[in-house]
Amino acid sequence: MWAAGRAPRRPSGGRPDALRLGFTLQPGMRVGLFGGSFNPAHEGHAHVAETARERLDLDRVIWLVSPQNPLKTSAETASLAERIAGARRLARGRDMIVSDAETRLGSQYTIDIVRALKARFPGVHFVWIMGADSLASFHRWRGWTEILREVPVAVVSRPWISLKSRFSPAARRFAGSRRPAVRAASLPGSTPPAWVFLTGPLNFQSSTVLRARQRGHLNHS
């Protein structure tokens, strides 16, 4: 649903960089970057993406399926093709894009893909999207303080971890940059560091539980 008084923005086709990535973005767009392993993708991920899209009034949410999470082993990670397929089943509607841009650009870390997309799409108002579980461990990400200074961040509440995440090292370090949730729609285009914590109905699915169920099924099949 487009905001009242604002017409849908048309993608600007034809740019070689955009074509290489498999999607196009136009200056002025408000775009959420939702990165993760999606190992596997589940309804909790869709809940985070859809909550951010609605509350931030985003034109697009790009699911950035990482080639390999540096904090996890390859042995516990499904193939990129499987994870992309799973994300596509859940990324509903034309406003949701599933992308392997990190693989295409050779980016392993979030800070690299954020800078690469900002360089390729000047004038686009990017926001990094994460669940509260990611905020709790955000201080372990390479260049986490630089990420917060590169792009605004939206954090969506997740079960069991939301309270802990609000007192995480990242939340404490950038407490002065937190915006009230009622001003969430103003986050895209804000000068970073700027972040918001969005609460709402919780979805209790998690990749860890789903992987455990899959292992149990295989062990008993």
Give the tens place of pLDDT for each residue, 127-138.
Answer: 999 999 899 999
What are the chain's domains? Answer: 16-220 (3.40.50.620)
Q: How confident is the model at residue 22 (pLDDT cuts 50, 70, 90)?
A: confident
pLDDT at position 159 over 90: no
pLDDT at position 120 over 50: yes
Give CB contacts under 8 A, 24+ apart, made by 97-100. 97/23, 97/60, 97/61, 97/62, 97/63, 98/62, 98/63, 98/65, 99/21, 99/22, 99/23, 99/62, 99/63, 99/64, 99/65, 100/22, 100/65, 100/67
pLDDT at position 167 over 60: yes
Query: Which tens digits make up the pLDDT trace of 48-106?
Result: 999 999 999 999 999 999 997 665 666 678 999 999 999 999 998 889 999 999 999 98
Q: How confident is the model at residue 20 (pLDDT cuts 50, 70, 90)?
A: confident
Q: How far is CA 55 from CA 3, 8, 133, 155, 187, in A?
A: 11, 17, 19, 11, 10
pLDDT value of residue 216: 44
